[in-house]
Amino acid sequence: MPATPKEERRVVDSEGALSGQVALVTGGGRGIGRAIAEMLASRGLRVAILARSKDQLEETASSIRQSGGEVLSLSADVTEWEAVVAAINHVKANLGPVDLLVNNAGRAASVGPVWESDPQEWRKDVEVNLYGTYLCSRAVLPDMIERRAGRIINVASLVGARPDPYVSSYSSSKAAVFRFTDSLAAETKQHGVTVFAISPGVVRTAMVEHLQTSPEGKRWVPVFSELEEDDFTPVEATAELVALIARGKLDRLSGRFIHVRDDLEKLLQRTDEIVEKDLLGLRLRELEEDDVAGEDE
């Protein structure tokens, strides 16, 4: 007779991966989320995938099951608190409490100058990218705090760390995800919970395809239409990074931003320096006093 979620003992293998760990991936029906879910399931994690599209969820779930993985699909909107709570409770009842949350659900529908933007589309982008990340984190954290263990990975973007005109809803919300990540990491450090922001680079997703092919995308962000094959990052690279974080290899870098193309071996070697100098975070670089002082008369 199979063990219930609460009865099953989670064990750590020689590589540090948790056998039986429970992961929840939002936006798990397609693209990056699907790749992450499939990768985690292949590593022995029990995976729950959450998205609004039932058809895409079932396609991903079917793929995972055919490969021998365990998966639970949940149709819900990450911006609706009651729906998120119900989904998390369903995961707990069927798989167990969430050990790893991957906040991957994202949206970038508002493209163009702010003064021409649709306020509803702009707000929805922010709600999905930021508020959805907050709600899902809020829902899993009480159990993580109680068990003094858990990891949260927020899919961010380099767009949030630099000025990026004509995608202000996306860049603003992703910048906020950076700040949410390091703020939450500071809050949860004493409770054994780690939090990361990662960037998958430019991946062939429906979002990127929209920016490449839509009239507004071609007009306002033509750089996407000019991308060459080498400019794209394989979706599997992000899945591998998430799996590495799930193994606890980067726990000392909690609160930091990690790009999928970073040299992880070098990052690990420089962990002390990164922590001591407070690197890999969204920071305001202040001018030195000599740079702003006026000349003596």
Residues near 213 by Cβ (< 8 Å), separated by ≥ 6?
225
Burial (CB < 10 A; 0-12, 13-18, 19+), residue 115, is: exposed
SS3 153: strand
Measure the CA–CA gap between 234 and 30, rounded to whole angstroms: 14
Measure the CA–CA gap between 249 and 253, rounded to whole angstroms: 9
Q: H or E stretch including 90? A: helix 81-94
Does residue 170 have an active-site annotation?
yes
Residues near 72 by Cβ (< 8 Å), separated by ≥ 6?
46, 47, 48, 49, 61, 90, 91, 94, 95
Measure the CA–CA gap between 297 and 291, rounded to whole angstroms: 16
* C-alpha torsion 144→145→147→152, nearest 10: 30
| CB contact at 8 A, 196 and 150 | no
CA distances to 188, 257, 273, 282, 284 from 279, rounded to whole Å, are: 19, 9, 8, 9, 12
DSSP 270: T
Write down the catalytic residue from 131, 134, 166, 170: 170
List residues with catalytic annotation: 170
